Homo-oligomer: A and B are copies of this chain.
Amino acid sequence: MLGFFTLVPICAVIALGFALFLTLKILKADEGNEKMVEIAQAVREGAAAYLKRQYKVSGIFFLVVFCLLMLLAFQGYLVIFVPFAFLTGGLFSALAGFCGMKIATLSSARTANACQYSLNQGLRLAFSSGSVMGFIVVGLGLLDLSFWFCSLDWYYSHHLVPDGMDKITATTSTMLTFGMGASFQALFARVGGGIFTKAADVGADLVGKVEAGIPEDDPRNPAVIADNVGDNVGDVAGMGADLYESYVGSIVATAALGVAAGLGVNGVTVPMMMAGVGIIASIIGMNFVSTKEDATQKALLSALRKGIFIASGVVVAAAYVIIRVLLGPEYVGIAWAVITGLAAGILIGLCTEYYTSAHYKPTQHIADTALTGPATLIIEGLSVGMQSTAFPMVIIALATIAAFGLAGGFENFSLGLYGIGIAAVGMLSTLGITLATDAYGPVADNAGGNAEMAGLDPKVRERTDALDSLGNTTAATGKGFAIGSAALTALALIAAFKEKVVLEGAVMDLDLMDPLVLVGLFVGAMMPYLFSSLTMSAVGRAGSEVVVEVRRQFKEIAGIMEGTAKPDYARCVDIVTTSALKEMRVPAVIAIVTPVAIGFLFGINSVGGLLIGATASGFLLAVMMANSGGAWDNAKKYIEEGNHGGKGSNAHKAGVVGDTVGDPFKDTSGPSINILIKLMSMVSIVFAAIIVDKSLF
């Protein structure tokens, strides 16, 4: 039954091979002088140490949940493969994050060194590093899925399938539960990493920049290494794990929806094939990203965009062929759903850019309000963030209905749901290249830190700043993409959840006038608020621990400020590590317990309401936080460029306040919501059987 499917693992291997090829190319580059190597080494060690400890903590959580799943499996609520697939999902996700982080920390000094020669060489190196991350994520994700698909196919060909299912239903409904491992790992990576990076950043800034008056990334600041480590564990490893989860989740959900729509094995092969083709398309797109040696930032950005557009075009063409060949010409409408997903991803990115880039009015207007102090700047920033939710929400809404309708949902409901899933897969199919543009930012950021600390020529810092600024734009776009894909993935997962409930022999009726559904919806809509509150105050608490420690070092270690004594960097890394790992526990437990508790108390329909409420409300809050944060950041940079009095003016001070408020917004709480909505859906799917069996209502 595999047929065309065999192409899928081949594409996965190609992705990993391409990542290896890029890695070897990066490693050939020179890391610069001794000082630069030393600094890079410190960041590398800090990041590795953090991840090691994070994996230990998450390992314990994984063990507990594994035992719980085994228990459920023995009681017949899950097939026996689920606990093991849960482990491989987590393992592969962790591996992707680890590799991405590793290559990022290997590239920062090299990027700084390349910037000694030219801006363009620096860009190429940083972008290659981001690409490695992108291709490792898609390669490992698709490999894990291929492995389980083949194994289950073989197993159910030789053994009895569960009651009332055929072979393919048994396979996809088992695979559906696999995403939970990736979700779970993403939670720790995103939430823990997010708290780490912003606690270090806020702490370093508050004492260093504000109290001691030393510049950013100054080697005299004891928290500076922690800050640089944070970029890697938060923005690289966290972002990678987040999108790994969306990638895997959208594919398994769509596969299950394909079987439910009666498309059989081909309905399963299509999303996987599209993911595979997306890898090839991304590699093709990458080859079109070429710039002249003296290219402007705008030219660089449009070169990047060209790559993404070409990759998208290839995917669209391939989707048409794949769907026509595998499903037949009467289903080509589904190919339009792919376009819907891709277009939605690109449009949300453009909206994000409009609201967060200093080239446009909203951010410039925020900068204007800095003239009347921090209060008006905060008000305007929040207002811009709230306003910026309108278009992305409308885009997601229209994309959902378009994907549903184009796939034929108004004639055949199940087919429409499959269309929504396919739209999510389409949006994520070019992840290899889109993630590259995103993961490149922190590398550039770290390169700047390295140049500053190593005392390189100011010209180098200028070049890394230019790269960093471009990285800010791509990072903002990337965040819009991450939450957009998370929302579509969550919708696909919720639809798949409904199918899972039907397979458990129950009926799911999500009538909004049913107060049980309403209760779920209300609690679900509240969850992102609670979650954000927890992660924001975690940053505050961990940040103040850093403040206390930095103050102590300034006071007790004589000669730091004169540059004659070295601060104790490791102590700061250790503090943020400990705090981040401690603070991520409560949000983790809440995200897992809530859907199960709501299910036991108010029934399976209430869980459906919960998931949709969380998706709608979470999407809005995440977009608002990401865009407010991005806009404040760029408004500050806009002032620093000399507007409204430039650096050191009162307007600049107001801008710094906005940027500091925006830090946990855009890098901790906002992105963590992506995980929350996907993880709750995954948990609901895995626990569907026992909820149906044991709930009070």
Report A's interface with B, CB cutoff 8 A.
Answer: 202, 206, 210, 369, 372-376, 378-380, 382-387, 389-390, 393-394, 396-398, 400-401, 404-405, 409, 416-417, 420, 491, 494-495, 498, 509-513, 515-519, 521-523, 525-526, 529-530, 532-534, 536-537, 539-540, 543-544, 547, 602, 608-609, 612-613, 616-617, 619-620, 624, 656-657, 660-661, 664
Q: How far is the CA of A385 from the CA of B532 in the complex (A)?
A: 11
* A511 in contact with B513 given A378-B661, A379-B540, A529-B389 (CB within 8 Å): no
Point out the residues of chain B lying under 8 angstroms from A373, CB to CB.
Answer: 206, 210, 657
A536 with B613: CB separation less than 8 A: no
Q: How far is the CA of A531 from the CA of B537 in the complex (A)?
A: 27
Residue with the greatest number of chain B CB neighbours at <10 A, chosen from A379, A380, A660: A379
Interface of A: prevailing SS: helix
Closest B residue to A387 by CB, please name it.
Answer: B533
Closest B residue to A543 by CB, please name it.
Answer: B376
Can you give 20 contacting A-B residue pairs, CB < 8 Å? A375-B660, A379-B536, A379-B539, A379-B660, A379-B661, A380-B540, A386-B530, A387-B530, A387-B533, A387-B537, A390-B526, A397-B523, A417-B513, A495-B513, A510-B511, A512-B521, A512-B609, A522-B619, A525-B620, A617-B620
Q: How far is the CA of A519 from the CA of B400 in the complex (A)?
A: 8
B375 with A661: CB separation less than 8 A: yes
A397 with B519: CB separation less than 8 A: yes
A404 with B515: CB separation less than 8 A: yes
B372 with A547: CB separation less than 8 A: yes
B376 with A540: CB separation less than 8 A: yes
Tell me the minimal C-beta distance from A365 to chain B in angstroms.
9
Point out the residues of chain B lying under 8 angstroms from A491, CB to CB.
Answer: 518
B526 with A525: CB separation less than 8 A: no
* A372 in contact with B544 given A389-B530, A397-B519, A512-B510 (CB within 8 Å): yes
Which of B509, B525, B543 contacts A511, CB < 8 Å?
B509
Q: How far is the CA of A397 from the CA of B495 in the complex (A)?
A: 24
A529 with B620: CB separation less than 8 A: yes
Point out the residues of chain B lying under 8 angstroms from A612, CB to CB.
Answer: 512, 518, 521
Point out the residues of chain B lying under 8 angstroms from A540, CB to CB.
Answer: 369, 376, 379-380, 383
Closest B residue to A491 by CB, please name it.
Answer: B518
Residue with the greatest number of chain B CB neighbours at <10 A, chosen from A386, A389, A494: A386
Closest B residue to A403 by CB, please name it.
Answer: B515
* A536 in contact with B382 given A375-B661, A416-B515 (CB within 8 Å): yes
* A206 in contact with B372 given A386-B533, A387-B530 (CB within 8 Å): yes
Tell me the minimal C-beta distance from A198 to chain B in angstroms.
10
B386 with A532: CB separation less than 8 A: yes
B518 with A400: CB separation less than 8 A: yes
Point out the residues of chain B lying under 8 angstroms from A498, CB to CB.
Answer: 513
A526 with B398: CB separation less than 8 A: no
* A401 in contact with B512 given A522-B396, A526-B394, A529-B386 (CB within 8 Å): no
A529 with B624: CB separation less than 8 A: yes
B513 with A378: CB separation less than 8 A: no
Point out the residues of chain B lying under 8 angstroms from A543, CB to CB.
Answer: 376
B617 with A523: CB separation less than 8 A: no
Other A-B pairs, 17, CB within 8 Å; known A374-B657, A387-B533? A372-B544, A376-B543, A378-B657, A382-B661, A386-B536, A390-B526, A390-B529, A393-B522, A398-B519, A401-B516, A511-B512, A512-B517, A512-B521, A518-B612, A521-B616, A522-B616, A529-B624
Which of B404, B515, B532, B619 contacts A420, CB < 8 Å?
B515
B657 with A375: CB separation less than 8 A: yes
Point out the residues of chain B lying under 8 angstroms from A401, CB to CB.
Answer: 515-516, 518-519, 602
Q: How far is the CA of A390 from the CA of B379 in the complex (A)?
A: 24
Q: How far is the CA of A624 from the CA of B512 in the complex (A)?
A: 24
A608 with B512: CB separation less than 8 A: yes
Q: How far is the CA of A620 from the CA of B664 in the complex (A)?
A: 20
Point out the residues of chain B lying under 8 angstroms from A521, CB to CB.
Answer: 512, 612, 616
Closest B residue to A625 by CB, please name it.
Answer: B382
Q: How far is the CA of A471 from the CA of B624 in the complex (A)?
A: 33
B206 with A397: CB separation less than 8 A: no
Which of B206, B380, B518 contacts A537, CB < 8 Å?
B380
Residue with the greatest number of chain B CB neighbours at <10 A, chosen from A376, A417, A511, A521: A376
Tell me the minimal C-beta distance from A591 to chain B in angstroms.
14
Which 4 pairs, one residue from A and one from B, show the smallest C-beta to C-beta distance? A510-B512, A375-B660, A386-B533, A387-B533
Q: How far is the CA of A619 from the CA of B523 in the complex (A)?
A: 12
A530 with B374: CB separation less than 8 A: no
A616 with B525: CB separation less than 8 A: yes
B378 with A620: CB separation less than 8 A: no
Closest B residue to A516 by CB, please name it.
Answer: B401
Q: How far is the CA of A379 from the CA of B457 in the complex (A)?
A: 37
Q: How far is the CA of A616 from the CA of B382 in the complex (A)?
A: 20
Q: How far is the CA of A509 from the CA of B369 in the complex (A)?
A: 47
Q: How far is the CA of A661 from the CA of B373 in the complex (A)?
A: 11
Closest B residue to A390 by CB, please name it.
Answer: B530
Closest B residue to A382 by CB, please name it.
Answer: B536
Which of B374, B384, B547, B657 contacts A533, CB < 8 Å?
B384
Q: How far is the CA of A373 from the CA of B536 in the complex (A)?
A: 16
Tell me the minimal C-beta distance from A114 to chain B in angstroms.
35
Q: How far is the CA of A513 from the CA of B210 in the complex (A)?
A: 51
Point out the residues of chain B lying under 8 angstroms from A417, CB to CB.
Answer: 513
Closest B residue to A510 by CB, please name it.
Answer: B512
B379 with A518: CB separation less than 8 A: no
Closest B residue to A660 by CB, please name it.
Answer: B375
Tell me the minimal C-beta distance from A344 to chain B in angstroms.
13
Tell me the minimal C-beta distance from A525 to chain B in angstroms.
4
Tell me the minimal C-beta distance from A307 to chain B in angstroms.
31
Q: How far is the CA of A521 from the CA of B536 in the complex (A)?
A: 27
Q: How far is the CA of A513 from the CA of B660 in the complex (A)?
A: 40
Q: How far is the CA of A656 from the CA of B376 in the complex (A)?
A: 12
Tell me the minimal C-beta distance from A368 to chain B in angstroms.
9
A379 with B515: CB separation less than 8 A: no
Residue with the greatest number of chain B CB neighbours at <10 A, chosen from A394, A509, A512, A616: A512
Tell me the minimal C-beta distance from A236 to chain B in angstroms.
24
Q: How far is the CA of A194 from the CA of B512 in the complex (A)?
A: 33
Point out the residues of chain B lying under 8 angstroms from A544, CB to CB.
Answer: 372, 376
* A620 in contact with B661 given A512-B510, A540-B383, A612-B512 (CB within 8 Å): no
Which of B376, B394, B522, B624 contacts A397, CB < 8 Å?
B522
B394 with A533: CB separation less than 8 A: no
